[in-house]
Structure 1
Amino acid sequence: MRQPDDEHLVDLAARLERDDPRFARALGSGRPARPREYRRTGAWGTLAVALALLAAGMAVPEGLLVALGLVLAGIAVPLFDPQRDRPQRGPRRR
Protein backbone atom coordinates (compact mmCIF):
# COMPACT_ATOMS: atom_id res chain seq x y z
CA MET A 1 0.00 0.00 0.00
CA ARG A 2 1.32 3.42 -0.96
CA GLN A 3 1.91 6.10 1.59
CA PRO A 4 0.00 9.39 1.17
CA ASP A 5 3.24 11.35 0.74
CA ASP A 6 4.43 9.12 -2.10
CA GLU A 7 2.13 10.87 -4.56
CA HIS A 8 3.57 14.23 -3.58
CA LEU A 9 7.13 12.96 -3.97
CA VAL A 10 6.39 11.45 -7.39
CA ASP A 11 4.78 14.74 -8.47
CA LEU A 12 7.79 16.70 -7.17
CA ALA A 13 10.22 14.42 -9.03
CA ALA A 14 8.22 14.79 -12.25
CA ARG A 15 8.20 18.58 -11.97
CA LEU A 16 11.94 18.63 -11.28
CA GLU A 17 12.59 16.45 -14.35
CA ARG A 18 10.41 18.74 -16.47
CA ASP A 19 11.94 22.00 -15.16
CA ASP A 20 15.62 21.08 -15.20
CA PRO A 21 16.41 17.65 -16.71
CA ARG A 22 20.19 18.12 -16.41
CA PHE A 23 19.96 18.73 -12.68
CA ALA A 24 17.54 15.81 -12.19
CA ARG A 25 19.81 13.38 -14.06
CA ALA A 26 22.86 14.53 -12.10
CA LEU A 27 21.00 14.22 -8.82
CA GLY A 28 19.82 10.73 -9.73
CA SER A 29 23.32 9.58 -10.63
CA GLY A 30 24.76 10.87 -7.35
CA ARG A 31 26.90 13.55 -9.01
CA PRO A 32 25.04 16.78 -8.30
CA ALA A 33 25.23 19.69 -10.72
CA ARG A 34 24.15 23.27 -10.28
CA PRO A 35 20.47 23.94 -10.84
CA ARG A 36 19.61 26.07 -13.86
CA GLU A 37 18.94 29.21 -11.83
CA TYR A 38 22.51 29.16 -10.51
CA ARG A 39 24.27 28.64 -13.85
CA ARG A 40 25.58 32.06 -14.76
CA THR A 41 27.87 31.35 -17.71
CA GLY A 42 25.91 33.61 -20.06
CA ALA A 43 25.84 36.40 -17.50
CA TRP A 44 29.62 36.28 -17.02
CA GLY A 45 30.19 36.23 -20.79
CA THR A 46 27.90 39.22 -21.34
CA LEU A 47 29.59 41.12 -18.53
CA ALA A 48 33.06 40.35 -19.95
CA VAL A 49 32.05 41.63 -23.39
CA ALA A 50 30.51 44.73 -21.80
CA LEU A 51 33.67 45.51 -19.84
CA ALA A 52 35.83 44.94 -22.94
CA LEU A 53 33.68 47.35 -24.94
CA LEU A 54 33.77 49.88 -22.13
CA ALA A 55 37.56 49.67 -21.87
CA ALA A 56 37.95 49.92 -25.66
CA GLY A 57 35.64 52.92 -25.72
CA MET A 58 37.72 54.65 -23.07
CA ALA A 59 41.06 53.76 -24.72
CA VAL A 60 39.91 54.98 -28.13
CA PRO A 61 37.79 58.02 -27.37
CA GLU A 62 34.62 56.63 -28.90
CA GLY A 63 31.36 57.40 -27.16
CA LEU A 64 29.42 54.73 -29.02
CA LEU A 65 31.61 51.95 -27.59
CA VAL A 66 31.27 53.38 -24.09
CA ALA A 67 27.49 53.57 -24.47
CA LEU A 68 27.30 50.03 -25.84
CA GLY A 69 29.45 48.75 -22.96
CA LEU A 70 27.19 50.44 -20.42
CA VAL A 71 24.04 49.08 -22.05
CA LEU A 72 25.45 45.54 -22.12
CA ALA A 73 26.51 45.86 -18.48
CA GLY A 74 22.97 46.92 -17.65
CA ILE A 75 21.66 43.84 -19.46
CA ALA A 76 24.15 41.49 -17.76
CA VAL A 77 23.52 42.53 -14.15
CA PRO A 78 19.93 41.18 -13.87
CA LEU A 79 21.14 37.85 -15.30
CA PHE A 80 22.98 37.23 -12.01
CA ASP A 81 19.68 37.18 -10.06
CA PRO A 82 18.71 33.55 -9.27
CA GLN A 83 15.06 34.58 -8.80
CA ARG A 84 14.71 36.13 -12.27
CA ASP A 85 12.50 33.35 -13.66
CA ARG A 86 9.88 33.66 -10.94
CA PRO A 87 6.95 35.96 -11.68
CA GLN A 88 7.01 39.16 -9.71
CA ARG A 89 4.00 39.81 -7.57
CA GLY A 90 2.68 43.32 -7.59
CA PRO A 91 0.68 45.02 -4.88
CA ARG A 92 -2.54 43.21 -4.03
CA ARG A 93 -5.75 44.78 -5.18
CA ARG A 94 -8.84 44.43 -3.10
Structure 2
Amino acid sequence: MPQSEDRRLVDLEARLEREDPRFTRAMRSGRPTRPREYRRTGAWCGLGLGVAVLGSGIVLAQGLLIAGGLVLVGMAAQLADPDPARMTNGRFGRR
Protein backbone atom coordinates (compact mmCIF):
# COMPACT_ATOMS: atom_id res chain seq x y z
CA MET A 1 0.00 0.00 0.00
CA PRO A 2 1.18 3.48 -0.66
CA GLN A 3 1.98 5.61 2.36
CA SER A 4 -1.10 7.81 1.91
CA GLU A 5 -3.45 4.79 2.14
CA ASP A 6 -1.67 3.57 5.27
CA ARG A 7 -2.17 6.97 6.84
CA ARG A 8 -5.88 6.91 5.94
CA LEU A 9 -6.29 3.52 7.59
CA VAL A 10 -4.54 4.73 10.75
CA ASP A 11 -6.78 7.83 10.83
CA LEU A 12 -9.87 5.67 10.31
CA GLU A 13 -8.82 3.35 13.13
CA ALA A 14 -8.21 6.26 15.50
CA ARG A 15 -11.58 7.84 14.69
CA LEU A 16 -13.38 4.53 15.18
CA GLU A 17 -11.59 4.04 18.50
CA ARG A 18 -12.82 7.46 19.67
CA GLU A 19 -16.40 7.01 18.43
CA ASP A 20 -17.04 3.41 19.51
CA PRO A 21 -14.32 1.88 21.71
CA ARG A 22 -16.46 -1.15 22.60
CA PHE A 23 -16.85 -2.07 18.93
CA THR A 24 -13.12 -1.60 18.35
CA ARG A 25 -12.27 -3.94 21.23
CA ALA A 26 -14.75 -6.50 19.91
CA MET A 27 -13.19 -6.33 16.44
CA ARG A 28 -9.73 -6.87 17.90
CA SER A 29 -10.95 -9.98 19.73
CA GLY A 30 -12.64 -11.21 16.55
CA ARG A 31 -16.16 -11.40 18.04
CA PRO A 32 -18.10 -8.20 17.30
CA THR A 33 -21.68 -7.91 18.52
CA ARG A 34 -24.62 -6.69 16.48
CA PRO A 35 -25.08 -2.92 16.61
CA ARG A 36 -27.90 -1.62 18.78
CA GLU A 37 -29.93 -0.41 15.83
CA TYR A 38 -30.30 -3.99 14.59
CA ARG A 39 -31.55 -5.40 17.88
CA ARG A 40 -35.31 -5.47 17.72
CA THR A 41 -36.27 -7.67 20.71
CA GLY A 42 -37.97 -4.86 22.61
CA ALA A 43 -39.86 -3.77 19.52
CA TRP A 44 -41.18 -7.28 18.92
CA CYS A 45 -42.25 -7.67 22.55
CA GLY A 46 -44.00 -4.29 22.43
CA LEU A 47 -45.70 -5.21 19.18
CA GLY A 48 -46.95 -8.50 20.63
CA LEU A 49 -48.22 -6.77 23.76
CA GLY A 50 -49.89 -4.05 21.70
CA VAL A 51 -51.64 -6.55 19.44
CA ALA A 52 -52.80 -8.52 22.50
CA VAL A 53 -54.19 -5.39 24.17
CA LEU A 54 -55.79 -4.26 20.92
CA GLY A 55 -57.37 -7.68 20.36
CA SER A 56 -58.70 -7.87 23.88
CA GLY A 57 -60.10 -4.35 23.54
CA ILE A 58 -61.93 -5.35 20.37
CA VAL A 59 -63.29 -8.56 21.95
CA LEU A 60 -64.39 -6.80 25.15
CA ALA A 61 -65.61 -3.70 23.27
CA GLN A 62 -63.53 -1.41 25.52
CA GLY A 63 -62.45 1.82 23.85
CA LEU A 64 -59.67 2.44 26.35
CA LEU A 65 -58.05 -0.93 25.61
CA ILE A 66 -58.38 -0.33 21.88
CA ALA A 67 -56.73 3.08 22.21
CA GLY A 68 -53.98 1.69 24.44
CA GLY A 69 -53.33 -1.16 22.01
CA LEU A 70 -53.08 1.25 19.09
CA VAL A 71 -50.63 3.42 21.02
CA LEU A 72 -48.48 0.40 21.94
CA VAL A 73 -48.47 -0.87 18.35
CA GLY A 74 -47.45 2.60 17.14
CA MET A 75 -44.63 2.82 19.66
CA ALA A 76 -43.37 -0.63 18.73
CA ALA A 77 -43.46 0.25 15.04
CA GLN A 78 -41.39 3.36 15.77
CA LEU A 79 -38.83 1.25 17.65
CA ALA A 80 -38.65 -1.34 14.86
CA ASP A 81 -38.07 1.27 12.16
CA PRO A 82 -34.45 2.46 11.80
CA ASP A 83 -33.85 6.17 12.20
CA PRO A 84 -34.71 7.65 8.77
CA ALA A 85 -32.45 10.64 9.44
CA ARG A 86 -29.44 8.30 9.40
CA MET A 87 -30.40 6.68 6.09
CA THR A 88 -28.40 7.91 3.11
CA ASN A 89 -28.72 6.20 -0.25
CA GLY A 90 -30.10 3.02 1.33
CA ARG A 91 -27.19 2.62 3.75
CA PHE A 92 -26.52 3.92 7.23
CA GLY A 93 -24.47 7.09 7.23
CA ARG A 94 -22.98 9.33 9.86
CA ARG A 95 -25.18 11.43 12.11
Pick the TM interval, shorter chain.
Answer: 0.5 to 0.7
Asked whether the 8 Å contact 1:20–1:36 carries over to 2, the reply is no
Change (3 A) 1:14 1:36: farther
Asked whether the 8 Å contact 1:78–1:84 carries over to 2, the reply is no
1:11 and 2:1 matched:
no
Point out where structure 1 has 5 or more consecutive residues left out of the alignment. 89-94
Over the matched positions of the two proteins, sequence identity in percent amounts to 57
Change (3 A) 1:65 1:21: farther
**Residue 71 of structure 2: aligned partner:** 71
**Residue 31 of structure 1: aligned partner:** 31
Pick the structure with more helix per residue: 2
**Residue 44 of structure 1: aligned partner:** 44
Change (3 A) 1:39 1:53: same
- Superposition pairs of residues 52-63 of structure 1, within 5 angstroms: 52-63=52-63
1:87 is displaced (CA, Å) by: 7.2
Bigger mean CA deviation after superposition, 43-52 or 78-87? 78-87
1:85 is displaced (CA, Å) by: 5.5
1:64 is displaced (CA, Å) by: 0.9
2:26 alignment partner AA: A
Point out where structure 2 has 5 or more consecutive residues left out of the alignment. 89-95
TM-score by length of 2: 0.64
